[in-house]
Structure 1
Amino acid sequence: MPSVGTYVRRAIVAAYLFFLVVWPVSLVVVTTFDGGLGNLQAALSDPEVTFALQLTVYVAAWAVAINTVFGVGVSLLLVRYDFPGRGVLSALIDLPLSVSPVVVGLALLLAYGSTNGLLGPELDRAGLQIAFAPPGIIMATAFVSLPLVVRELVPVLQEIGTEQEQAARSLGAGPLQTFRRITLPSIKWALIYGVVLSLARSLGEFGAVKVISGNIAQQTQTATLVVEEKYQDFEQGSAYATSFLLALIAVAALVVVTILRPRDDHDGD
């Protein structure tokens, strides 16, 4: 039977999560539907909001795709191979977690800006614009969500070991066949969860995107940027409704994965 101290600790944790997460987010939902569906309908009929939502989904899809491919490759490299600089690479993967997103946006602007960027002018002459365009937004979003897939996969790859992969290769399976039939099924749920976390992070990115995008309405303005603009312009109903839609997508993805994931699966443990 749990002791009194255990109940107290549980109550403290529950209260902490309630006041930090559950209550503030629930207030966004309540405010969105205050008076009915008016706020939601107004947001969805606003061209700025609809464009921002479409751009956000487009950017998030590209960022997640990039980080999925990169995340799987880097995870295999870190776990399956021993090479000089492996510790440095592992530390660099975590860099986006410790650097402010605003710094990320500024760094990308200095590298790819059309006017003062080191590579920007050359890229512009080649017909490729990075800063103040969707490619720059995708790069910023991919940067900030970079570690999420890797940090889900690395512990699972370490746990499953290499015995099955070595057995498959000894039977004549090639690297691609071994990955598809042995490695991928073993890391499936960790990969899916990492992808969902990367999607949620991509949908909510603000600081890096604001710097590199230029925040141009109906051109480079994502959903998080339109939330700020609507709130500052006293169109708070649209701001809350857009925030609700962003949160809904992220939470729905997490809930679906949690429901579908087998109860006896411990890939992420």
Structure 2
Amino acid sequence: MVELSTPLKWLLRVVAVGYVFFLVAWPVALIVQRTFADGFTTMADTLSDPQVQHALWMTAQVAGAAVVINTVFGVTISILLVRYEFPGKRMLSALIDLPLAVSPVVVGLALLLVYNGRTGWFGPALEANGLQIIFSTPGMIMATCFVALPLVVREVVPTLTEIGDDQEQASRSLGGNAYQTFRRITLPSIKWALVYGVVLSLGRALGEFGAVKIVSGNFTGQTQTATLIVEQKYQNFEQSEAYATSFILATISVLCIVVVSLLRPKEPTS
């Protein structure tokens, strides 16, 4: 290990802290400052706005459904990638990372082309059977699931790889079925990785904008989420309500991370 001189250490620390400050801390602090510039009046007015209330409720529905779906499929895909060998395994692993490389707007457009009720591949057939995807909640959930899927998988896969499968094999040899092995051996071992994946997925779902805007149609009072209401309020020169709504979203995400950090047991020091 290369030993750095004291001045160089301090320089690196200043650069790192400065980078985080100007990129994250300062902008977020400005949001807080603008939100409470008039005390709690702006926050109270924002929370009493029916449009904001509906947008927050819609965000909770979409984000909640997306997190549940991504948790179930994320754990399943993680176990599949780590515990089994099959043709196309590398391709599946690469596809999992696709949402990280593709713009959310492109994702929304792709879903629009596939599930559009008039010209989409499956849209007309689905709408003929009473199921509308685009410009409704199902399409918004699908878009959110797509952009947030890798976050669960990429947290769980390294933990599954690290713990190995010795205990799982022992459980099966003692007569445990697949469900018992998963519930008593696998799940406790990946618990905290899964929690972090869920928290990251929740934060990503709460803040999704591009894909949701495309597939939702951004109809006020119908398919408008909190991020979309922020854009509308800001463009309509209602910046104070836009700041307050942004503050609410940021606070929820930060609180989730803080709670997980506090609840997670500390690793014993050697």
TM-score, structure 2 as length reference: 0.97
How far 1:92 sits from its partner (Å)? Answer: 0.2
**1:160 matches 2:190:** no
Residue 94 of structure 2 is matched in structure 1 by: 91
The counterpart of 2:23, out of the listed 10, 13, 20, is: 20
Residue 143 of structure 1 is matched in structure 2 by: 146
Residue 223 of structure 1 is matched in structure 2 by: 226
Residue 69 of structure 2 is matched in structure 1 by: 66
Unaligned runs of 5+ in 1: none
From the superposition, tell whether residues 9 and 94 of structure 1 become closer, same or farther in structure 2 (CA, over 3 Å).
Answer: same
How far 1:265 sits from its partner (Å)? Answer: 7.6
AA in 2 matched with 1:209: V
How far 1:4 sits from its partner (Å)? Answer: 2.0
AA in 2 matched with 1:110: L
How far 1:42 sits from its partner (Å)? Answer: 1.2
How far 1:243 sits from its partner (Å)? Answer: 0.3
Residue 79 of structure 1 is matched in structure 2 by: 82
**1:124 matches 2:124:** no
Structure 1 vs Structure 2 CA RMSD:
1.2
How far 1:5 sits from its partner (Å)? Answer: 1.2
AA in 2 matched with 1:24: P
Where do residues 1-269 of structure 1 align in structure 2 (5 Å cutoff)?
A: 3-264=6-267
AA in 1 matched with 2:10: Y
Take 1:265 and 1:174, find their aligned partners in 2: how far apart are those partners? 33
Take 1:15 and 1:228, find their aligned partners in 2: how far apart are those partners? 29
Take 1:73 and 1:265, find their aligned partners in 2: how far apart are those partners? 30
User: Runs of at least 4 residues of structure 1 off by over 3 A?
Assistant: none
Take 1:239 and 1:265, find their aligned partners in 2: how far apart are those partners? 44
Take 1:10 and 1:166, find their aligned partners in 2: how far apart are those partners? 46
AA in 2 matched with 1:149: V
Unaligned runs of 5+ in 2: none
Take 1:208 and 1:254, find their aligned partners in 2: how far apart are those partners? 24
How far 1:64 sits from its partner (Å)? Answer: 0.1
How far 1:178 sits from its partner (Å)? Answer: 0.4
Take 2:30 and 2:251, find their aligned partners in 1: how far apart are those partners? 14
Deviations 1:123-170 (A, max 9, x none): 111000000000000000000001000000000000000111011111
Identity %: 63
Deviations 1:174-214 (A, max 9, x none): 11100000010000000000000000000000000000000
AA in 2 matched with 1:148: L
AA in 1 matched with 2:258: V
How far 1:260 sits from its partner (Å)? Answer: 0.7
Total equivalences in the alignment: 266
How far 1:3 sits from its partner (Å)? Answer: 2.2
